[in-house]
Amino acid sequence: RWASPEGGLWMTAILKPKSSPEHVPKLVFVGALAVVDALAKYGIPAEVKWPNDVLVDGKKIAGVLSECKFNHFALLGIGLNVNNEVPEELLDKAVSMRELTGFELNLDDVLSNVLRALSYWYSLFKRGRHYEILDAVRRKSAVIGRHVMVVEGDEVLVEGRALDIDDSGALLVETKNGVERVFYGDVSLRVF
C-alpha cells in the first residue's frame, strides 16, 4: 500500500542522465543517498535497504523509485515521511522525521536539503562515477552481512546472507546453492 498523507515530502525529479541504459537503474541509489544525506542534516542516521528504501532503526522513512522514459529522461520519485502521521497499521514498520526529532520540520527546508544532496549524487552519476555511488550504498547498507529473504508477492525467490552489491547494482546473496544475483525490478526485500 502506498500511503502519502499530508505533511510528507512526495516528489518526482525529472532527470536527463545521457548515460548507457545499464546505468539508469542505479539512479534509485542516487535518490536513496540523497535522502540519507538530507536526514543526516537533522541528526537522523539512516541506511539504504536495497534497492530503494531508506530505513532508520529498521523502520522505513522513505522510498525511492526510478523509471526511464523514452531513453531521453528518467523520473526519480522520492517519498519521505516528514511531518505526516504514519498509519497505525504501519507503526512497527515506518517512522517520520517529526517522530524522530520531536518537532515539526519546515517542508521547504527538507526539500532544499534533499535537492542539494540529490544534485551532488546526480553530478557523480552524470560524470560516470558510479563506483562512488555504489561504494556509498555499500557503506550505508542495511542488508549487507544480514540474513535476507527476497520475495515477490507471496513467493520467496531467494533466501540467504546478503554478501554485497555488485557493480551492476545487483544484490549478491549467498544461498545454500551458491551465490545468486538479484536485480530489483518488481522484487522487494525483507530483512529479518
Number of structural domains the chain divides into = 2
Residue 48 lies in a domain: yes
How much is the pLDDT for 73? Answer: 85
Is 2 contained in some domain? no
Q: What is the pLDDT of residue 22?
A: 75
SS (H, E, C) the chain: CCCCCCCCEEEEEEECCCCCHHHHHHHHHHHHHHHHHHHHCCCCCCEEECCCEEEECCEEEEEEEEEEECCCEEEEEEEECCCCCCCHHHCCCECCHHHHHCCCCCHHHHHHHHHHHHHHHHHHHHCCCHHHHHHHHHHCECCCCCEEEEEECCEEEEEEEEEEECCCCCEEEEECCEEEEECCCCCEEEEC
| Confidence grade of residue 150 (pLDDT, cut at 50, 70, 90) | confident
**Same domain assignment for residues 98 and 125:** yes
Which has more confidence, 133 or 73?
A: 133
Residue 48: domain span? 9-139
Question: Do 128 and 171 have their domain in common?
Answer: no
pLDDT score, position 187: 41
* Mean pLDDT, residues 38-52: 95
CATH number of the domain at 176, please: 2.30.30.100
Together in a domain, 151 and 121 = no
